[in-house]
Amino acid sequence: MADNDAPRSKDFIREIIEKDLEAGKNDGRLQTRFPPEPNGYLHIGHAKAISLSFGVAEEYKGVCNLRFDDTNPEKEKTEFVEAIQEDIQWLGYTWGNVFYASDYFDQLYDWAVQLIKADKAYVCDLTEEEVREYRGTAGFSEDKRETPAGKNSPHRDRSIEENLDLFGRMRNGEFPDGAKTLRAKIDMAHPNLNMRDPVMYRILHREHFRQGDKWCIYPTYDWTHGQSDSIEGVTHSLCDTSFENHRPLYDWFLDELGAFHSRQYEFGRMTLTYTILSKRFLRQLVEQGHVSGWDDPRMPTLCGFRRRGFTPEAVRDFCARLGYSKGDGVVDLQYLEQCQREHLNKIAPRVMAVLDPIKVVITNYPEDQVDELEAVNNPEDPSAGTRTVLFSRELYIERSDFMEDPPKKFFRLGVGREVRLRYAYYMTCQEAIKNDAGEVIELRCTYDPATKGGDSPDGRKVKGTIHWVSAQHAIKSQVRLYEYLFKDENPKPKDGDWVDILNPESVTVLEEAYIEPSIADAPVGYRCQFERNGYFTKDKDSTPEQLIFNRTVALKDSWKKIQTKNR
C-alpha cells in the first residue's frame, strides 16, 4: 500500500492538459465541467470523475463548473440536485458556476432548426422499436461476416419545409408522446451505431421540475451534451470510456453548427467488487425496499459512505491512488476500505466499547470504589491528549475474550488465566457462572491492585490485553455491523430480482452494546475507533435516549486469521 503523501505518476489527461496549456490552446484557458443527471444520488464511481474534473481545474488554475443534465423530466427532482451539490462539497470541491442544460433549451431548439434548414435533420414517424430495427447492428457476426447496415427511414427525404413545419408543431404540442422524433441525417451505413441518424428530440408531455410546462419536446443527451459544453466554453470535456463511441457524434454536431468546439477525452471506467454502480439499479434497491434509502450505509452512494463514517479525504485518496488510464479496471472494494482505515487510524480518537458483553465481577474490588484512569485518545497523534475512564467492581468485556477451554495460542481470558485490562489492572478469572442451559453468563475474577496502569511491580508478564467498560457507567447503545450488500464479487441482477444476489447478513444489529460515557454527547457523524473492534460513526437515527453507531470498517484480527488458517 502506497503512502498517502507519496508522489504519483502523471496520468495521460494531465499530460494532454499541460501540452494544451503550453501550446496556448484556448488562449491558455482550462475549463472543465461535471455534468450529472439529477435522477438519483451520486455513487463512488462518480467520485472518480469528480476528483478528475475538479482536481485538474484546481491544479492548473482553471475552472470546473457544475452542470445538471436535466433533460428527462420523468426522473429528475430538486431533491437530487441538492444531494449532488452536498456530495461534491463534502468531497471538498467548489464549482465555478452552476448551470442547467434546461436553460439552453431555446438555443438547442434554434440550433435544431438550423440543422433542418441545412438538410441535416428530419422529422421521423417511426416508433422507438422501429427506429431500433431500422438502425441495424454493428461489427461482425459469430461467423465473421459483416452484419447488415441500417436502412433509411421512409421519412428521411421529407422536404426542409415539411420538416420545419412538423418540428414546430411538435413543439406546440400537436402530437402525442412518441408519435414523432427529430433525427440527425448522417449515415445509416456508418460502422458506429451512434452515427446512424440518432434521435435529437422526442415528444414527452411532462412537466419539468425547473421549466414547468413550457416544453413538451425534450432533447436527448447526445444532442445536449456537446452543445452545452460549447455554450459554456468548456475546453476539456472529461468522460469515462462509455462515452467513447459517442465522441464522433459529439464532434459532428459541433462541426455542423460551426460552434466553439470543446474536446472530449475519455478515461477508464471503474468497477468495484461486490458493488453495483448503476443509478437505475440503485434506484430499484431503494424503491423496492431492499435498503432503507439512498443513504443506507450499505449503498455505494456517497451519502451512504458518508453515513457509514467514510471521510472525504479517504475517498479522494482512493481515487488518486487508482489514477486515470484509458483502460477500464476492476478494483477490490477492500482497497477503498484500506484507504479509509489508514486515514481513520491517524485521526480517529480511541474509545472502549463492548459489543457482545459478558459481565465480570471483581470480587476483591471494593463495592463503593470508582477509579479514575488515564487513557490515550490516539497513539498516532500525541496532540490528541488523554481522557479519563472510570473503573468499578463490575465490568463488561467481550464474550469472545473468554474461553472455558482455551487453545494454546489464545492469549485472552480463561479460568485460572491472567490478563491485562487496558489502562487498568491485571485480572485473573477464578470462576465462570453458567445458567441452566450451560451458557456462561458471568465471570468471577480478582484483580491485583499493585498493577494499576497495566504494569506489574514484580516484573511478571501477561500476553493478553483486553478492553472493558464499567458496567455502572457505560452507556447501552445500538451498534450496526455492516458487511457487503451483495454475496457475489460481480453481482448481476436478473430482471429486477435481487433476492438471489443480496447478502442476507449485510447488517447485524447489536441491541446491547456498552460504550464508555466519554462520547455520550458526540454529534451525529462523530468518528472514533472502538478499540479492537473497528472504526465507528454516530448515526443520524441516534436520540438522547438511544445512541446508534455504524461500523465503518473493521480492524484486522490476528485470532480470526489463526482460526481461518486452521480450518
- In degrees to the nearest 10, what's the CA dihedral of 391, 396, 398, 402? 90
Return phi, psi of residue 178, to 5°. 80, 0
Q: Where are the alpha helices (DSSP H) in 9-127?
A: 12-23, 44-59, 78-91, 105-117
Q: For residues 550 and 544, what is the distance between their CA atoms, to the nearest angstrom?
A: 16
The C-alpha cell 452494546 sits at 513
- Alpha-carbon distances, residue 524 vs 37, 286, 306, 343 (angstroms): 29, 23, 11, 19
Q: What is the DSSP letter of 192?
A: S
Handedness of CA 242, 247, 248, 252 (dihedral sign): positive
37 given a catalytic annotation:
yes
Residues 6+ apart with CB under 8 A from 299: 43, 282, 285, 291, 485
What count of other Cβ atoms lies within 10 Å of the Cβ of residue 207? 12
> Which is catalytic among the residues 37, 162, 244, 483?
37
Do 443 and 360 contact (CB within 8 A), yes or no? yes
Q: Which residues pair with 266 in a beta bridge?
A: 239
C-alpha angle 243-246-248 in degrees, rounded to nearest 5: 135
What count of other Cβ atoms lies within 10 Å of the Cβ of residue 369? 9
> Which is catalytic among the residues 48, 135, 263, 269?
269
Residue 229's closest CA among 113, 107, 92? 107
Q: What is the DSSP letter of 197?
A: S
Q: Where are the alpha helices (DSSP H) in 103-220?
A: 105-117, 128-135, 160-171
Q: Where are the alpha helices (DSSP H) in 243-392?
A: 247-257, 279-287, 302-308, 312-322, 333-347
Q: Which residues pair with 509 in a beta bridge?
A: 480
Do 241 and 326 contact (CB within 8 A), yes or no? yes
- Alpha-carbon distances, residue 455 vs 129, 370, 414, 500 (angstroms): 78, 19, 20, 53
Do 353 and 469 contact (CB within 8 A), yes or no? yes
Q: For residues 378 and 381, what is the distance between their CA atoms, to the nearest angstrom?
A: 5
> Which is catalytic among the residues 279, 308, 420, 422?
279
444 given a catalytic annotation:
no
Residue 375's closest CA among 324, 424, 341? 424
Residues marked as catalytic: 37, 269, 279
